[in-house]
Amino acid sequence: MAKKLAGAVILALCLSTPLLASTNPVVVATPPQPTWNALSAEQQKVLAPLAAEWNNMENYRRKKWLGVAQRYKGMTPEEQQRVQEKMRKWADMTPAQRLAAREKYKKFRDMSPEDKEAIKQKWREYRELPDDEKQRLREQPRSNSATPAAPTAPESQQR
């Protein structure tokens, strides 16, 4: 009798687990992050390019940028300048451009080290080109080949 009862309990638990999982989802969320006015003067100075959109950002994005601001003080002046430049370019992008940039990043992140190095080498070569040659390449239609694509200038440089 005890075996039948134990079996029935186990069966009931097995059958109810999917039901419980579907009605009681676990949500992992980033806790609320400070509004722009709640940031310190130093954080506001570092994150100034993002001021206009800060209060409309998702919490996880605010948290990411706060991490950048925290590391900022330990950066070299060149690194700080690069971060500021990238932040300004990011702030100038449209939502569609940002989505495209995120997709490109994910694609690049998942590439083999050899493919990454090939793309980095193409970028080095591209940066060495004269401006008129860069312009010609930007105007040239892209091919859909299996090899890594030649780099194109970021949207902000194509204006």
How far apart are alpha carbons 126 and 76 in whole angstroms?
26
Predicted local confidence at residue 29, as pLDDT: 82
> pTM higher than 0.85 for the full model?
no
Ranges of residues in the chain whose predicted pLDDT is under 70 = 1-28, 143-159
**pLDDT tens-digit series, residues 68-107:** 999 999 999 999 999 999 999 999 999 999 999 999 999 9
Give ∠ CA 68-72-76 in degrees, rounded to 5.
135
* pLDDT for 140: 86
Give the orientation angle of helix 77-92 with respect to helix 59-72, to 10 degrees: 160
**pLDDT value of residue 142:** 74
| Model pLDDT, residue 2 | 57
